[in-house]
Amino acid sequence: MNDMPLVAMDGLIYNAPDSLLRMTVMDGQARVMMCRTTRMAQLAADTHLASDTAAAAMGRVLPAAAMLSSMIKEEKGSVTLTFAGEGAGGKITAVGRGDTLKITVDNPQIQLPLLEDGRQDVPGFIGTQGRLTVIKDFGTGEPYVGTSELVSGGVAEDLTKYFAVSEQTPSLLALGCLNQEGTVLSSGGILIQAMPGCTDETLDNLEMRIPFFSNISREIYDRSMEELARAWFKDMDLQILSSGPLHFACDCSREKMQAALIATGEQELRDMIDSGKDVEMVCWFCRTRRHFTPEDVRQLLKDASAKGDEHAPD
Ligand SMILES: [Zn+2]
């Protein structure tokens, strides 16, 4: 619905905006989500000056985060996905808040040799051993934290295991990113989850369709998601519930960095002031650098202790 017709613009053959489609099949027996995250995968690659390997990894994690985020209905809710593997890229963390995503990688500039089939070595970048952690914060009370062991570092397999182990939800998931020489051609994903009451027949029917979407980035490269879904789930009572845009943006601010500075403690702040040098803080999601002069830090310390006094018990 959000997809525009084929047009060649800014280097992309299929100039569709990032968006997410929510659907059901067989009268709600399974839910289907599909998303296109090509633009944000490019923005992430540009933000982190990423190698093609890192861009491919982010181009798989971003659609996963977008689909998980869309399942959280609370307005102040968020989801955080962390792939902590022993791969060359280090830790990857993506955060989804509603339709807005951000992502960071420990070592975004590491390029690994291509795999034999010509694809980027995402498993080598993330690591085949380690943990996947999913934090769902509903904006009220304790967040839900689920973890599972990495299976392959290929992202989709790791998340499928997480859904099975941690959420007991049978899921079919495909994620993909097509990119080369700094350009992301296509990034996206599809997630199908059985709902309570889903029959074995429906599950079998869905599994039979895996070959249609297993190469998801190539499928959505030049075609509308809705058109694809209608073809793939033909005769399965496909209902499109919603279609909406996805955004890539960071929610950091000077105020949040100030709070982080204050949290380092009084002694640290005094040392910063005594050093006479500016303090530079970097947001690891958008790479924005913010500077605090010794005078700024002195003021922060003053404000923080004034606040502390107000709340101090008699
Ligand atoms: Zn930021």
Q: Are residues 151 and 242 in the same domain?
A: yes
Domain end (from 196, 218, 248): 248
Q: Are residues 167 and 71 in the same domain?
A: yes
Q: How far apart are CA 303 and CA 314, in angstroms?
A: 20
Q: Are residues 166 and 272 in the same domain?
A: no
Q: Are residues 127 and 185 in the same domain?
A: yes
**Centre of ligand 1 from the C-alpha of residue 288, in Å:** 6
Residue 114 included in any domain: yes
Residue 74 included in any domain: yes
Q: Are residues 165 and 286 in the same domain?
A: no
**Centre of ligand 1 from the C-alpha of residue 290, in Å:** 10
Tokens 């889903």 correspond to what residue? Answer: 198
Task: Give the pLDDT score at 12.
Answer: 54
DSSP character string of the chain: --PPPPB-BTTBSB-PPPEEEEEEETTTTEEEEEEE-HHHHHHHHHHTT--HHHHHHHHHHHHHHHHHHHT--STT-EEEEEEEESSTT--EEEEEETTEEEEEES-TT--PPPPTTS---HHHHH-SSEEEEEEEE-SSSSPEEEEEE-SSSSSHHHHHHHHHHHS---EEEEEEEEEETTEEEEEEEEEEEEPTT--HHHHHHHHTTHHHHTTHHHHHTSS-HHHHHHHHTTTS--EEEEEEE-EE-----HHHHHHHHHHT-HHHHHHHHHHTS-EEEE-TTT--EEEE-HHHHHHHHHHHHHHHHHHS--
- Owning domain of residue 96: 19-248
User: Does pLDDT of 82 surpass 50?
Assistant: yes
Q: Are residues 207 and 272 in the same domain?
A: no
**Centre of ligand 1 from the C-alpha of residue 42, in Å:** 17
Residue 7 included in any domain: no
Task: Give the pLDDT score at 307.
Answer: 74
Q: Are residues 215 and 277 in the same domain?
A: no
**Centre of ligand 1 from the C-alpha of residue 44, in Å:** 12
Quote the mean pLDDT of the chain.
Answer: 92
Q: Kindly state the percentage of the chain with pLDDT values over 70.
A: 94
Q: Are residues 59 and 92 in the same domain?
A: yes
**Centre of ligand 1 from the C-alpha of residue 196, in Å:** 39
**Centre of ligand 1 from the C-alpha of residue 95, in Å:** 12
**Centre of ligand 1 from the C-alpha of residue 293, in Å:** 20
CA dihedral 3, 4, 7, 10 (to 10 degrees): -70
Residue 272 included in any domain: yes
Q: Are residues 226 and 279 in the same domain?
A: no
**β-pair partners for 81:** 94, 134
Q: Residue 179 belongs to a domain with what CATH number?
A: 3.55.30.10
Q: What is the pTM of this model?
A: 0.91
List, as own/partner pairs, every contact residues 159-168 make where C-beta atoms lie below 8 angstroms and the sequence separation is at least 24, other chains included: 159/64, 159/132, 161/132, 162/132, 162/134, 163/193, 166/134
Q: How many domains does the chain have?
A: 2
Residue 2 included in any domain: no
Residue 301 included in any domain: yes
Q: Are residues 45 and 147 in the same domain?
A: yes
CB atoms within 10 A of CB 270: 13
Backbone dihedral region for residue 287 (phi beyond 0: left; psi -120 to 50: alpha; all else: beta): left
User: Does pLDDT of 132 surpass 50?
Assistant: yes
| Tens-digit pLDDT profile for residues 88-124 | 999 999 999 999 999 999 999 999 999 999 999 999 9
Q: Are residues 187 and 54 in the same domain?
A: yes
User: Does pLDDT of 311 surpass 70?
Assistant: no
**Centre of ligand 1 from the C-alpha of residue 282, in Å:** 8
Domain end (from 248, 279, 301): 248
| Tens-digit pLDDT profile for residues 231-253 | 999 999 999 999 999 999 999 99
Task: Give the pLDDT score at 310.
Answer: 56
Higher pLDDT, 73 or 54: 54
Average pLDDT over residues 262-274: 92
| Tens-digit pLDDT profile for residues 198-229 | 999 999 999 999 999 999 999 999 999 999 99
Q: Are residues 156 and 271 in the same domain?
A: no
User: Does pLDDT of 175 surpass 90?
Assistant: yes
Residue 206 included in any domain: yes
**Centre of ligand 1 from the C-alpha of residue 247, in Å:** 14
Q: Residue 301 belongs to a domain with what CATH number?
A: 3.90.1280.10
Domain end (from 248, 279, 294): 248
